[in-house]
Amino acid sequence: MKDGKAKLKWAVLVAAVLALIIVPFLCFGERIDGWTDSFLDSAAQHQVRTAAVLSGLLASDIVLPVPSSIVSTACGYFLGFWCGTLASWLGMSFSCVAGFALAAVLGREPLRRWLGDRELAKLEALYARHGDWVIMLTRPVPVLAEAAVLFAGLGHMRFRRFMILSLLSNLGISAAYAAIGKYSADISSFLAAMAGAILLPWVFMVVSERVAGR
């Protein structure tokens, strides 16, 4: 019952976000095009600042509800494939290091109250089944990705092993989303790419629910 409610909440959230992206564009397409062109010109002139803002958002993902898939897609759109991948990778990797250290300092009990018994039980089941690879398996999954990082910091994984797996996983995810953003030729295709960036993590989340349930 709880699983059904959680999935329904995610479905409603995804639909609401998609509506917020698509409906204004359909109603005010020309105005949005003009604003977007101006914004892109500014971003192109200040790429270092743009990269710092986007990377900073991803770095704060461990404690703030940042839609990392959308931000990583924006990295590719605004910065190009290589710089976008680098900005996304650095931000995501810093978030992982911060989360690992935070868990090591706080210990299990504060994190249990933060994450909830259900999430911890799910991670323990995944860890028992997949071992350290759970870091790579959960990186594309909303909420569970951050929870897995915190779980690893509780002493379930050596830091060096954690860094190797998280850095490799972050690189692959960053490159994939940056490519989506880079090859969105205009604002219309970029909005379609953002919609995909919202839906794809939701699909991963549903799959992870079924795997953990088994």
- The pair phi, psi for residue 142, each rounded to 5°, is -60, 145
Q: Are 87 and 171 in contact (CB under 8 A)?
A: no
Q: pLDDT digits over 39-60, tens only?
A: 556 666 778 888 988 999 899 9
User: What is the domain range of residue 200?
Assistant: 48-213
**Residue at 26 is within a domain:** no
Q: Are 63 and 146 in contact (CB under 8 A)?
A: no
**Strand ranges for the chain from DSSP E:** none
d(CA 184, CA 135): 29
**Residue at 9 is within a domain:** no
Mean pLDDT in consecutive groups of 10 residues from the start of the chain, 214 residues:
53 56 54 54 74 90 83 87 94 95 85 76 79 83 83 88 92 88 64 55 56 52
d(CA 181, CA 62): 23
Considering its fold, how many domains does the chain have in total? 1
- Tell me the pTM: 0.72
